[in-house]
Amino acid sequence: MDRPFTFINSAMSADGKISTWQRKQVRISGAIDFDRVDQLRATSDAVMVGIGTVLADDPSLTVKSAQRKGERKAKGLDENPIRIVIDSQARTPLEADIFKKGEGQRIVVVSSSAHSNKVEALRKKAKVIISGDIRIDLPDAMQQLHRLGIRHLMVEGGATLNWAMLSSGLVDEIYTFVGNIIIGGQMAPTLVDGEGFTDTSTLPLELISAEKIEKGLFLKWKVLNFLK
């Protein structure tokens, strides 16, 4: 199956949480890690999030460094990578920062059961791709994104989308910054939520690198996909 090279990038606490139980963003990393994330965005064709992250954090997902934006422009690219939302029911708010901030293309992936009025409204803000009946058919969506020329895809969460992508065998690498805080909370999202694997079907990884950055640890993992 033709799909983009795909990596997940996330910041998590020492106990593996990516936000609080109230789904409020917490500052987990510092300036050096923010810059690392900016570099990854600037060198990706597209950056993707789930609708849960858009509703919780309202991220703009833009490249922040003027130099990197300039380098993209010099290559004939938009300042920002294509920003993609996985959103079965077309719930992305029309006033979301992802639409308001920064130049560049936006794609919202919706299912065929999304309300047509909402889909038409989104079409004024973004290219809309239809995939799946109730929820997004992620393998199909990845093929559609590949057909649009997306070869290098950065997934920026959240926990539910990370699970869906990993359990569908659609992720090549995982990059995590592990910060020096504990967030705790049974209901707080972790790096990967969803239904979870069983004791006989866990997903193996291979450590590519581990580097101390500021007061935390940056880990790069290769996913040894059993589904390929």
Exposure string (b/e) for 55-93, b if CB count within 10 Å is 16 or more?
Answer: ebbebbbbbeeeebbeebeeeeeebbbbbbbbbbebbbe
Which position among 96, 126, 153, 164 is part of the footprint of ligand NAP (CB under 6 A)? 164
Rounded Cα distance between 18 and 44, Å, is 22
DSSP letter, residue 29: S
The residue (of 13 and 67) whose beta carbon lies closer to ligand NAP is 13
For residue 177, the 8-state DSSP code is E
Q: What order of strands is seen across the sheet that includes strand 127-130?
A: 127-130, 106-110, 82-86, 46-50, 152-155, 5-12, 173-178, 216-223, 205-213
Q: Nearer Cβ to ligand NAP, position 77 or 169?
A: 169
Residue 68 CA, distance from chain mean position? 20
Stretch that binds ligand NAP, among 67-75, 87-95, 122-130, 199-207 (CB under 6 A): 87-95
From 11-19, 39-47, 197-205, 208-216, span contacting ligand NAP (CB under 6 A): 11-19
Q: Which residue in the set 35, 193, 213, 214 belongs to the binding site for ligand NAP (CB under 6 A)?
A: 193
Whichever of 91 and 152 has its CB closer to ligand NAP, that residue is 91
Give the position of tokens 């239809």.
130
Which of 27, 75 has the CB closer to ligand NAP? 27
Q: Which is nearer to ligand NAP, 82 or 170 (CB)?
A: 170
Q: Where are the beta strands (DSSP E) in 79-215?
A: 82-86, 106-110, 127-130, 152-155, 173-178, 205-213
Shortest distance in whole angstroms from residue 11 CB to ligand NAP: 4
- The number of beta carbons lying within 10 Å of the beta carbon of residue 35 is 14
Phi and psi dihedrals of 165, rounded to 5?
A: -70, -45
Minimum distance of ligand NAP from residue 20's CB (angstroms) = 8
- Choose which of 6, 19, 44, 190 interacts with ligand NAP (CB under 6 A): 19
Residues 104-163 binding ligand NAP (CB under 6 A) are 135-136, 138, 156-161
Residue 183 contacts ligand NAP per CB under 6 A: no
Reduced to 3 states (helix: H, G, I; strand: E, B; else coil), residue 209 is: strand
Q: Does 53 participate in binding ligand NAP (rule CB under 6 A)?
A: yes
Question: Binding residues for ligand NAP, per CB under 6 A?
Answer: 10-11, 18-19, 23, 25, 28, 49-53, 56-57, 86-89, 91, 135-136, 138, 156-161, 164, 189, 193
